[in-house]
Amino acid sequence: MKFPFTKLAAVLVTGLAATFGAQAQDIQERTIRFGHLNNTDHPVSMGVKRFTELVAKKSGGKITVKEFPSNQLGNEMQQQSALQGGVQEMTAPATTSLVGIVKEFGLVDFPFIVSNFRQADALLDGPLGRQLTARLPERGLVALTFWDLGFRNVTNSKRPITKGEDLEGIKLRVIPNPVFLDTFRAFKANPVPLPFAELYNALESRAVDGQENPFSVILSNKFYEVNKYLSQTNHVYAANIVLISKRFWDRLSPTEQRILQEAANESRDYQRTVSREAGAKALNELKTKGMQINELSPAELGRMRAAVRPIYDKFSAEYDPAVVSTFRSELERVQKLQ
């Protein structure tokens, strides 16, 4: 039996309308509080803004994302706890802040494991990243994607760091993370775990001599005002992880979950691009602000990499062997990328 085209088209349109109608019914009026520690001129904030736009568009304006930058909702640990407790919906901390609840995240903090952005993206977006994020729901968190923060570099008020030995005796603020602490102890520095919100005042008062962060963070937080020297150590690649409260996530419909996941994926590519462009621009601006900037020679970076090799073995022995096995095989794969 022939089916007239007009009738077929009408059936298809009706079916599509019913599908979209059902999906629309699956989307409720919601407000998401998205907190983070960075200022509004930082690439993380740019990522939040793009995510906000995408969520609004995909939800037909029903889901509103409100940004709370600059530690307005507390420091990273406080916001992490708020997500776990279901009193805050989203945040985007550095992956290092998750080591306290999933210690295997320390693997991505190992110093000098990747040397360019392509390697870093491949490591986080591949099997290792998925294996790590799969452990978060049991801790009350759901990971949507990874955003770029950049390679970390040392600043201080004492002297340029041209080799590992130059770090000896420098009181350096680091994230409260065992891998970071041991990394700088290997160079006989004095690493001091300190909340980010307290860092500028600690540098200004000389309670600490220096810190280590990507270029954009150094510029955005005006560390050039309190530290003269910036050394391009590129010792660790840093990423932010977009997190959502599992308690909140579980209340969402499948359609709402899909909207947030798609928006996160689309914002990732944008955020990484603007972050890396901002990092290059920030380095030039830091020069104009008067910072004394130096690069380390490949030979010295090689010596520093060798000095921290025991850290790999020490912490790998404490982690789940299955995750360590994935890490090693993935590292072998991604380090071939140029």
Q: What is the pLDDT of residues 260-296, one digit of tens each?
A: 999 999 999 999 999 999 999 999 999 999 999 999 9
pLDDT computed for residue 22 by the predictor: 47
pLDDT for res 197: 85
Phi, psi values for residue 212, rounded to 5°: -140, 125
The Cα 88–Cα 93 span in angstroms is: 14
User: What span, in angstroms and rounded, lies between the C-alpha atoms of 210 and 165?
Assistant: 15
Give pLDDT, residue 41: 86
Contact 291, 228 (CB under 8 A): yes
In a 10 Å sphere around its CB, with 0-12 CB exposed, 13-18 middle and 19+ buried, how is residue 304 labelled? Answer: buried
What sections of the chain are H helices per DSSP?
A: 5-25, 43-58, 76-85, 117-125, 127-133, 178-185, 199-204, 215-220, 246-249, 254-288, 298-307, 309-316, 321-334
Q: What pLDDT score was predicted for residue 265?
A: 97
pTM of the model: 0.86
Domains in the chain, start-ordered, CATH in brackets?
A: 29-334 (3.40.190.170)
pLDDT of amino acid 10: 53
- φ, ψ dihedrals at 252, nearest 5°: -80, 150
Q: Nearest 5°: phi and psi at 231?
A: -115, 125
Neighbours of 125 (CB within 10 A): 13
- pLDDT score of 16: 44
Asked if residue 188 lies in contact with residue 164, where contact means CB atoms within 8 angstroms, the answer is no
Q: What is the pLDDT of residue 325?
A: 98
The list of the chain residues with pLDDT below 50 reads 1-3, 5, 13, 15-20, 22
What is the DSSP secondary structure assignment for residue 207, as one 8-state letter? Answer: S
pLDDT value for 25: 78
Considering only CA atoms, give the Rg of the chain.
22
Q: How far apart are CA 210 and CA 158, in angstroms?
A: 8
**Amino acid 192: pLDDT:** 96
